[in-house]
Amino acid sequence: MGFLLFFVLLLFNCNGFVDSLNGEGYALLSFKQSIYEDPEGSLSNWNSSDENPCSWNGVTCKEQRVVSVSIPKKKLYGFLPSALGSLSVLRHLNLRNNKFFGNLPVELLEAQGLQSLVLYGNSFSGAVPNDIGKLKYLQTLDLSQNFFNGSLPQSIVQCKRLKTLDLSQNNFTGPLPDGFGTGLVSLEKLDLAFNKFNGSIPSNMGNLSSLQGTVDLSHNIFGGSIPASLGSLPEKVYIDLTYNNLSGPIPQNGALMNRGPTAFIGNPGLCGPPLKSPCSSDVPGANAPSSYPFLPNNYPPENLDDEGEKKEKGRGLSKSAIVAIIVSDIIGICLVGLLFSYCYSRVCAGSKGKDESGYGFEKGGKGRKECLCFRKDESETLSENVEQYDLVPLDTQVAFDLDELLKASAFVLGKSGIGIVYKVVLEDGLTLAVRRLGEGGSQRFKEFQTEVEAIGKLRHPNIVTLRAYYWSVDEKLLIYDYIPNGSLATALHGKPGMVSLTPLSWSVRLKIIKGIAKGLVYLHEFSPKKYVHGDLKPNNILLGHNMEPHVSDFGLGRLANIAGGSPTLQSSRMPAEKAQERQQKSVSTDVATTNSSSNLGSYYQAPEAFKVVKPSQKWDVYSYGVILLEMITGRTPVVHVGSSEMDLVHWIQLCIEEKKPLADVLDPYLVPDADKEEEIIAVLKIAMACVHSSPERRPTMRHISDALDRLIISND
């Protein structure tokens, strides 16, 4: 009897166990059982003893029904079971950046209410089922960075609410489905890059009027001509067609007009503007009208009469008109002469105190007599009438003169191809950094004066301030604020003879990253001329008392060129044909010098800087991106891989392609900051956007700074 009671109780408990979890819970438990590895225990609270799965990690319910399963970046290793298709009200499935493999089960597409299916960054393979067209409410389909293959199902065009379609970095083949442009009319983002799509680009793709950002069709096998209808896309859309098999002339209309050649490279058959290869006359469309104005040799056209014959040209001005012009010129010159004579007699006559050199003021500019009838506002320039052999202050706070500067204690901070830098300590304790541009050289004083005074007007907490300058025939000096904690290069890597290196924590690096961005935003958008730095690298980012960054050496190359006898930035660049053969050379990082890393300086230059003469702000963005990579990895811009070398940008790209963990690329000094992984990855993504090979696809410094501000705020 006791045994029977025990059996009944056991049966009761078993029935209670079976009845406790609903059907959707069992479907998710089937999913859990298909996962072989869960190193972070992300599914540890998925228990069959619960009444429903609504409290489980990654599961969201509405009215006790599962509407979302979101388990990204948890290193889950397994496959997708068909049971997930039984979640009839499932709206969102997000399994990005895990280690899932196998096919996409066709049963999953029975959840016809799906609005977003995000599976990027896994190892899924096989073809996309044709039943994808059943998902009438689908808005986001992101299958990027997997191993999907086969052609894109024809039924995809039935997903008329689709806004985001990202299939990049897979093995898709075949042409795009018929009706691609007329069916997916709601598309806002389209990325098909790095696949094997072939055939022609659909002419109806120009109907996708909701597209935004970049339409990326690059690195495929699309052939034929570029349909002119692509120009009908919104003009702000950037169309990336690089590295395909496209041929013929590039249409010049709408969104295709005024694009640089970088959007079309890697298509040997393309011709016409903006490429340098002209179209031959036998190429279809070679003589098609272009949006670029064409001026014939006889432009402007000669006058024609009503019969189409040339009109007789005018014989020029008459003799009486010429005489009148000459007489009026003579009268004007006389009036100007009388005016200046009057000014001299009233203001300058009898002025005394000329020094032996013949200048109308004493040495140092003291005791100067004004002999100007028309004087500019003193606020316009501080050195308008200062003799060129004086020390010229660039703000009102400069209280020292040339004699004090020359008598002060000076210590060499570093030497470079652009002169010597000294640390100068005045008698009152004020410390300055003085750069000597060299001896001799050009006498282009006015040009130098204009340039240096423009730089002297720049005022920002993250820009080194130029306080004064000195010019003479055989001496040119630039006087800056002294920044005490050396360069970012030294802080990251040390320098020869340094006994120990105090590593920078992630919080300090993030502060530096943000400060550099703000300084560049000021240069690019708020400085008087919207400047480009052009030579940004860790050696000319100096660190203040609280490790705040100061961008230095802005405009130095041009000043050195004007001063004469010094190399410019252009001369230090490698020719284009050697840009891909950068070799590492020995480096010595000296504090406060710009050129101590000149052997590595080319690795911070954007690829197009070796081909294009005129600097672009996107050059600075690229350099900034390399600096971010250097701060994240702790490596120099050249990485040793076995017995070979590669630049840091390509090394990082290779690590991403091989899906290496963050720990493999992270600076070992940042291991204590492992809890900041999300933040570090966010900055890494910004860095990779900055070093994009296409300048047009790099963000602006304003966008970068805003993104960093949001990142920091969200983690405070």
Catalytic machinery residues: 535
Give the Cβ contact number of residue 533 at 10 Å: 26
**What is the DSSP annotation of 27-46?**
HHHHHHHTEEE-TT-TTTT-
Half-sphere exposure of 446 (CA within 13 A, CB side): 1
Phi then psi for residue 107, to 5 deg, are -65, -30
CB 100 within 8 A of CB 124: yes
* Distance, first Cα to last Cα, the chain: 66
DSSP 8-state symbol, 553: -
Please, what's the largest Cα pairwise distance for the chain?
140
Give the Cα separation of 707 and 716 in Å (integer).
14
Give the Cα separation of 36 and 76 in Å (integer).
8
CB-based burial label for 253 (10 Å; 0-12, 13-18, 19+): middle
Which of 142, 147, 140 has its CA nearest to residue 124? 147
Strand 475-481 relative to strand 541-543, pairing: unpaired
CB 206 within 8 A of CB 190: no
Token duo for residue 424: 């100068």
Give the Cα separation of 197 and 220 in Å (integer).
5
Give the Cα separation of 512 and 197 in Å (integer).
43
52's CB contacts (< 8 A; 6+ apart) are 21, 22, 24, 25, 61, 64
Q: How many residues does the chain have?
A: 716
673's CB contacts (< 8 A; 6+ apart) are 505, 506, 507, 680
Give the Cα separation of 254 and 276 in Å (integer).
21
557's CB contacts (< 8 A; 6+ apart) are 418, 534, 535, 567, 568, 569, 570
Q: What single-letter amino acid sits at 170?
A: N
Give the Cα separation of 617 and 622 in Å (integer).
9
Which of 97, 142, 96 has its CA nearest to residue 115? 142
Give the Cα separation of 543 and 564 in Å (integer).
30
DSSP 8-state symbol, 148: E
Provide the H-helix boundaries in 346-498. Answer: 402-407, 445-456, 488-493
Give the Cα separation of 218 and 643 in Å (integer).
32
CB 708 within 8 A of CB 686: yes
Give the Cα separation of 139 and 491 in Å (integer).
47
**What is the DSSP annotation of 107-127?**
GGGG-TT--EEE--SSEEEEP
Three-class DSSP labels, 134-146: HCCCCCEEECCCC
CB 426 within 8 A of CB 401: no
Q: Residue 270: in which H helix or E strand, if any?
A: strand 269-271
